[in-house]
A and B are shown apart, each in its own frame.
Chain A
Amino acid sequence: MGRLRSLLIPGVDKQLLVRDATRLMPDLTRRRFISGGASLGALTLLTGCDVSDSFSAEEMLKQISKFNDGVQAAIFNPNALAPTFPESAITKPFPFNAYYGLDDAPTIDGREWKFEVRGLVDNKKSWTLEELYNLPQVKQVTRHICVEGWSAIGSWTGTPLRDFLKLVGADTRAKYCWFRCADAEGYNSPLDMATALHPQTQMTFKFGDEILPRAYGYPMKIRVPTKLGFKNPKYVVSMEVTNDYKGGFWEDQGYNSFSGS
């Protein structure tokens, strides 16, 4: 203290110096208002359930979810294959799962159905089921992991999506393959291009060696073993290769869009 005091210019009145200094500080009542507001904000953060409805908390969570999309895209290894299982590990019966009951699942006439290809592709022709069935197919037994936490192992047979993208001359520098489905409410889902090009991402036509049953998405499902289940669209009617983020049925309601596994 003694040293500090000696630094003061001799002759300066300390009382006056303090008074001048306080005058330079912001108005005390204003400061109290700001700190009061901050603690009110902190309180609303602690009250739990109401927080989800609060605009600022929801905005913050959305921003972090977008950040998490980026982190997941960064750690996504295009060469890492999802674990495969022997046929004996297949879950029987494999669960039907949707936001509606099985009775409300789309009923599609395979002879009428056409798969439309749009957007940044050279060949925009629509594909009949028969034409798609003629493409080379592979079988894989992988685990389907639901966002809810349950999982089931299934056997899926179909054409690797990356082969099809090459066939139709898709611009694989585009950001998304955006799928639309025949579900009543229009089940859409954007799939990032890196995942679309993953060797196990498949246009699926068969489940357990049988033509894909209605419950699992007849006539075509996109099977993505590197994603959570809701990112595996069923009853697919079209694909658009695009740079625009067009949202999806569950993504729009708050599920993380990347949702990689």
Chain B
Amino acid sequence: MSSLAVNDQHTVAATPAKVIQPAWVRTLHWINAVAMILMIMSGWQIYNASPLFDFKFSSSITLGGWLGGALLWHFAAMWLLMVNGLVYLALGLATGRFRKKLLPITPEGVISDARAALTGRLSHDDLTKYNYVQKLLYAGIIVIGVLVVLSGLAIWKPVQLQYLTALFGGYDAARYVHFICMAAIVAFLIVHVALAVLVPKSLRAMIIGR
């Protein structure tokens, strides 16, 4: 029982560390990660029922077992993704995080940081500041995230939301937009996860905040 001794509390309070990722960002990030993976894997199974291109996704990487099961997963995880995404957008705008962290994005900054990254000279010392490539990718993925939800709504409800569907150029075009957004998200995920593995302290910050 000595581990429960009262004076242990001093040691915890004595090491104040800078919070890089606040708790709400971390919580929403990991909920989003789960929702996105469920949406992508079940979406691949739905795609297989009527492929847009000359290939299908291997059943080993799809979710749901068959079209009906995949639809159930897709339309369940949809709520998680949408509610979580809306809270993220609201808090990102209300707290000024988007403005502080992601803006401004200048073409010169993006080019010079991309060059530094590709030649291995990009510093990751200060995780509280994003470089211009990160800013562009993170802002871009938010836009893609909004587009994937809107194009999804357009093909889910092409009668009730027909003006939205028309905005995407009709039902068939909206399917392509939905697919292209998915592909962009998967490409982002590959780079995102690879970089998180290369810079482990960034992953640590997204888990415990510091």
Contacts and interface: CB of A to CB of B under 8 A. Distances in A.
B160 A75 contact: yes
Interface residues of B, number: 36
A145 B157 contact: no
A68 B78 CA distance: 11
Q: Is the interface of B mostly helix, strand, loop or mixed?
A: helix
Contact of A48 (B41, B67, B175): B41
A143 B171 contact: yes
Interface size class of A (residues with CB under 8 A): 35 or more
Contact of A260 (B49, B73, B159): B159
Contacts of B166: 83
A31 interface: no
A9 interface: no
Given A1-B9, A22-B1, A149-B50, A75 B157 contact: yes
Contacts, number: 92
B144 interface: no
Q: Quick one: which of B10, B72, B156 has the most chain A CB within 10 A?
A: B72
Given A18-B1, A22-B1, A149-B50, A65 B157 contact: no
Interface in A9-31: 14, 18-19, 22
A83 B71 contact: no
Contact of A65 (B41, B46, B72, B162): B72
Contacts of B79: 64
B17 interface: no
20 contacts: A18-B6, A19-B1, A48-B41, A49-B59, A49-B60, A52-B63, A52-B65, A61-B69, A64-B75, A65-B72, A75-B160, A76-B160, A80-B162, A82-B162, A147-B71, A150-B50, A254-B72, A260-B157, A261-B156, A261-B157
